[in-house]
Amino acid sequence: MASANPVLYLLFVLVGLLAGWVAADFTKSAAYGRTVDLIAGALASLGGGSLFLKLAIQTTGWFWPLITALVSAMLVLGALRAVKNIASR
């Protein structure tokens, strides 16, 4: 099982913040504002990365948990944008 190193959780949050920033820039609009994108990205990344560790998926190092954190953050941010688009119709 991957260790639950506090530094790894900090990396999850940083990856999520970066994902929120990139998602807002990539779509050229923030769904609910840049602050919400950053917070949603950080929380989703932390949740996805933590889930990956809790499932005890065998990995070496920190690469795959960070990829999982990035993907989970991007999925949540995409879902937020989809909800915003549906609600604005």
DSSP class per residue in 33-82 = -HHHHHHHHHHHHHHHHHHHHHTT---SSSHHHHHHHHHHHHHHHHHHHH
Asked if 80 contacts 32 with a C-beta cutoff of 8 angstroms, the reply is: yes
Q: Supply the pLDDT for residue 30.
A: 58
In this prediction, what percent of the chain has a pLDDT beyond 90? 0
pLDDT tens per residue, range 16-51: 888 878 777 776 665 677 888 888 888 888 888 788
Model's pTM, two decimal places? 0.74
Cβ atoms within 10 Å of 24's Cβ, excluding its own: 21
Taking the domains of the chain in order of start, what are their residue ranges? Answer: 6-87
Q: Supply the pLDDT for residue 20.
A: 79
C-alpha–C-alpha distance, residues 51 and 15, integer Å:
15
Residue 74 has pLDDT above 50, yes or no: yes
